Amino acid sequence: MLKRIFLSLQCVLLILTLFAQKGKLVSKEYHVAVNGSNNNNGSISKPFKTISAAAKKAMRDVIIVHAGVYRGQVAPLRCGNSEKERIWYGAAKGEKFEVKGSVTKNFLHDNRVQDFSLEVNHGPVMVGNNLFLSQVRLSQVAFLHNLIAWKLWETNDADPRPTPFLKPHSTAIAGFHINPSGDAFTTLFFWDEQTCLLQQIIISRANGRQCELDGCKTIKSHQEEIISNTPFTKNV
């Protein structure tokens, strides 16, 4: 009798284990809509407002983005370690969405160390209208209309092959040029040996807005330099 009870309990535990394992493989859907709220649970009736909010929740899940224009950076905390665990981002059926991260949000770095490094593999990449408050290292990338408050570090191991650049306000390639250490267009540089923060008034002039910075300090810039390079072009 006891043996039968023991076997029955084993069967029940086995069934529960199988259901639990199966449940782990089932992906959950999170929805994002422009009229949603990040206080919602991400269901189709209560969608999130931003893709970032859904990305923070997702683990082996599907994120469905509904029609609209989404502004702001998307920095998923998890990307999955295998095909079964991968997080999938996609538009809702029959809908299209657009992400414009560079329109309203700028990068802001202030770690007093070299914390921003960009390596670009010959693509039409541009970093524009951003504020850097620490050392910057660049390689084969164009910086446009930026304000950099530290020394600009260049790399010596950049690939010298031609890199494409774009036509103004377009994704069409205008031509190719060789920029082994990157280009800086109409970029302001403020630095000295102790530079780490700028006055809010300088930030406001550079970015067209008043920025809030914790622990903002006033510093004196030794020089203001405007770099305006013209890229070398050739027929494609």
* Span of 26-30, 36-40, 123-127 with lowest mean pLDDT: 123-127
Helix (H, G, I), strand (E, B) or coil at 198: coil
Helix (H, G, I), strand (E, B) or coil at 122: coil
Question: pLDDT digit string (tens) for 59-111?
Answer: 666 667 777 666 554 544 444 444 555 566 666 777 665 554 332 223 334 43
pLDDT reported for residue 120: 39
The pairing of strands 136-139 and 116-119 is: parallel
- The closest alpha carbon to 100, from 121, 74, 71, belongs to 71
- Residue where the block lists tokens 């390689």: 139
Residues of the chain with pLDDT > 70: what percent?
15
Q: Pick the residue with more confidence: 66 or 48?
A: 48
- pTM exceeds 0.85, yes or no: no
Region 105-124: mean pLDDT is 39
pLDDT reported for residue 40: 92
Answer yes or no: is pLDDT of 233 > 50.
Answer: no
pLDDT reported for residue 204: 37
